[in-house]
Amino acid sequence: MTVDQKVRELQHFINGSLVDGTSGRYSDVYNPSTGEVIARVPLASREEVITAIENAKAAFPAWKKVSAGKRAEVVQRFRQLVSENIEELIEVICEESGKTKEDAKGEITRGLESVDLAINVAHMTKGEYSVNVGGGINAYSAKYPLGVVAAISPFNFPVMVPLAQTSMAVAVGNAVILKPSEKVPISALYMSNLWKEAGLPDGIWTVINGDKEAVDELLENNTIEAISFVGSTPVAEHIYQKGTSYNKRVAALGGGKNFMVVMPDADLEKTANAFLGAAYGAASQRCMAISGAIPVGKETADKFVAILKEKIANLKVGPYTDETVDFGPVITQQSKDAVLAAINKGIEEGAQIVVDGRNPKISETSKGFYLGPTLLDEVTPSMEIYEKEVFGPARIIVRVESLQEAIDLINDHELGNGVTIFTNSGAAARKFQEEIEVGMVGVNVPIPIPVGYHNFGGLKRSKFGEGYMFGPDQARFFTKVKTISERWLEEDDETASTFSFPSNESGK
């Protein structure tokens, strides 16, 4: 697959082949850097989703029987192909998402951590064994794949999140259906070709493009055993409630309002540098992006804001083809409008604008969906821009007088995805990490996203269900456990009927 500038007619990937959509419904795919339509993606009907599910169901039994070692070899070959084609995949990501090349490369690298973990599938799926638990009986557990599972991924990480959602699911023996965001479908189709080339059997990897109609069929279809979702909190809650009502296993990760607490003893220059990338990287379109800073004490806040003001003014926004830019556009015009509305509402409610990025110079010459970095100070918990996740480069400063006040504010917020503290005090760091009710915690780490072999997931309304993304929990989520009690009778064994509940009281 090559990237060109003409409008492309995209397809689904079903049963090992690219398949034209038949619903007659399409959605435009934009290049956010130029505002131009680069492709049209078909939106699947329920009938098309059912066909995809049936193909996956038919392919599953044979893949289930393939040894863990052989499945790991396929995953290993896929990883190698991603590495060999990384420059082309970077270009695909950049074109459809607007990310800088450096950011796209980082996304792929983090995604491959999940693939690396999946290569260790034989270790991840080991069971337990107990000898002679009673009466010559041995007991053991074994993990088996679920069957057909689905992943619904967001626009902001078109490669990393799908890899995190699906690599282990494939490795443990499931057939996987990916429903990527209709805003960024090209990356998923590109990876489909790599899975095919890696030797994955037809039907084990499926990409079905679509909107709510496709999602509803995935949620309601009895063949789908599990759903992995990443997106906004309202949609995550809907996915969880509806999916579980159909008796599915669901892990639904939502949004975050991720704060950086800045203590008076922190190195403010270094902390400000950390804030810039964590807050504005990828145009702030990360669920783990720092939403705002909470400096402790007026002196700390005044100094920190002054440093940030100077540094933010030097950030450069532009297209990914310009390798000097710090970040690119937001994903759509609708996203841009939503961020502008959030900024304007914050100012209306009393926030003070420190840096105004609502009208970057590039907007005068480009039709891309650009916003410059904006910083609002004197934000309070009663303001809408404090309560809601803003998926764009508008960040906030919330002033407090103590570490305890910062902890209480964060714990009172409905979202609990990620949080970090910058300090040189071990006591402050320990108090913070023990008392904070947030799933991923950083100490002098700007974005506390775990590596691929640790579980990723927030608390409160940032995650619904007990499943995680990344980490060893993926093997548990995508498998079912059978516990077997086994005894082999010898010829001289005397057996008689017993009506008491089995126990080890007799020691036999």
Catalytic center residues = 287
- 3-state SS string over 6-66? CCEECCEEECCEEECCCCCCEEEEEECCCCEEEEEEECCCHHHHHHHHHHHHHHHHHHHHC
- Find the helix or strand (DSSP H, E) in which 252 lies: strand 249-253
- Find the helix or strand (DSSP H, E) in which 142 lies: strand 137-145
* DSSP codes, 274-291: HHHHHHHGGGG--TTSEE
**CB proximity list for 354: less than 8 A, separation 6 or greater:** 305, 308, 309, 312, 375, 376, 377, 397
- Residues 63, 187 contacting (CB under 8 angstroms): no
Q: What residue type is assigned to position 465 of the chain?
A: G
Question: Distance between CA atoms of 389 and 385, rounded to whole angstroms?
Answer: 7
The length of the chain in residues reads 508
- The dihedral through the CA atoms of 210, 212, 214, 215 has a sign that is positive
What tokens does 498 get? Answer: 């017993």
Pairing of strands 224-230, 148-152: parallel
Neighbour count for residue 136 (Cβ, 10 Å): 14
Helix pair 186-198, 86-97: axis angle to 10 deg = 160
Q: What residue type is assigned to position 472 of the chain?
A: P
- The dihedral through the CA atoms of 359, 365, 367, 370 has a sign that is negative
Neighbour count for residue 348 (Cβ, 10 Å): 10
What is residue 362's DSSP assignment?
A: G
3-state secondary structure of 496: coil
* Phi and psi angles of residue 140, each rounded to the nearest 5 degrees, phi first: -150, 160
Q: Using DSSP, how many helices (H) and how many strands (E) does the chain show? A: 16, 23
- The dihedral through the CA atoms of 137, 143, 147, 151 has a sign that is positive
What tokens does 237 get? Answer: 């809650």
- The dihedral through the CA atoms of 464, 46, 96, 392 has a sign that is negative
Residue 415 φ/ψ region, left for φ over 0, alpha for ψ in the -120 to 50 degree band, beta for the rest: beta
What tokens does 398 get? Answer: 């919330």
* DSSP codes, 7-18: PEE--EEETTEE
**CB proximity list for 307: less than 8 A, separation 6 or greater:** 268, 269, 272
